[in-house]
Amino acid sequence: MRKMVVGVPASTPFVDSAVTVEIMSDQTGEALRAAEAVLAAEQAKTDRLEAEVLDRIARGVPTAVDGIAKRVAESQPEITRQLGSVGVKAMRADLAEAANQLAAEIRTAKIAWPGEQSVRYGEVAVRHVDAALFSYLHGPRMDALVEVLQRHGFAKRGDGEHGAQDLVNPHDLYDEGWLSPLAGARTALSAIESRVRAAKQSETDAAVRSIWDDSEK
């Protein structure tokens, strides 16, 4: 059944298609604007959760690092006895300074969190968020703490990075369970980003159809 346009004969060529395309263009434009508004809100929520996670980790770093020092001291009692209380106190002070510097870095960290493209089916599982955080903390940031421990006489148990992790591991600084809300938010964000891309494509397709139909008039 042909659509009728008020005031225009039904037999007028191209009128139906032009009006239909215009309506579709308006609809796709509205859909895109709605999707972008939802995306902005979800992005703001995700940014807030990221900041909260990083702040929570940063606030806990000094206590966590002091706990690491105690664990190392207990695991290498011969070194601890050589240091004595004065030496241990000096080590803890140096570690506290390094911990405060690390905490400041973490609060403003720019972490390459996983997105839809890097996670199958668009689901950002906690383990993927954990991997991104671990990757950020691993290496030079942990090495700064290891260097303090070694400077005071404590030894790595093995060679290379695995030996260093035996002294200090990124997982010593946070609980993986803290990352669950962020993983959920990033999953939702990825889904909305897909909807926005689809809406933009629909709007582009409608615009191209309109231009093509106009060229036939």
Question: Which pLDDT does position 115 carry in this prediction?
Answer: 67
Question: Which pLDDT does position 140 carry in this prediction?
Answer: 93
- Poorest-confidence range of 74-78, 171-175, 203-207? 203-207
Phi-psi region of 117 (alpha: psi -120 to 50; beta: other; left: phi over 0): alpha
Nearest Cα to 186, choosing from 56, 54, 41, 45? 45
Q: How confident is the model at residue 56 (pLDDT cuts 50, 70, 90)?
A: very high
Give the amino acid at 122: G
- Res 182 pLDDT > 60: yes
Overall average pLDDT of the 72-77 stretch: 93
What confidence tens digit (pLDDT) does each residue in 94-151 have? 999 999 999 999 999 999 988 654 555 556 788 989 999 999 999 999 999 999 999 9
Nearest Cα to 74, choosing from 141, 167, 148, 8? 167
Nearest Cα to 107, choosing from 164, 62, 68? 62
What confidence tens digit (pLDDT) does each residue in 60-69 have? 999 999 999 9
> Which sequence spans correspond to the domains of the chain?
15-215
Question: Which pLDDT does position 61 carry in this prediction?
Answer: 98
Question: Which pLDDT does position 54 carry in this prediction?
Answer: 98
5 DSSP β-pair partners: 8
Contact between residue 185 and residue 42 where contact means Cβ atoms under 8 Å apart: yes
Round the average pLDDT of the chain to a whole number and report it.
82
Question: Which pLDDT does position 50 carry in this prediction?
Answer: 95
- Res 207 pLDDT > 90: no
How much of the chain, in percent, has pLDDT values that exceed 90?
A: 51
Q: How confident is the model at residue 20 (pLDDT cuts 50, 70, 90)?
A: very low
Q: How confident is the model at residue 32 (pLDDT cuts 50, 70, 90)?
A: confident
Q: How confident is the model at residue 165 (pLDDT cuts 50, 70, 90)?
A: low
Q: What is the pTM assigned to this prediction?
A: 0.74
> d(Cα 185, Cα 43) in Å, to the nearest integer?
9
Overall average pLDDT of the 54-81 stretch: 96
Residue 46 vs residue 36, higher pLDDT: 46
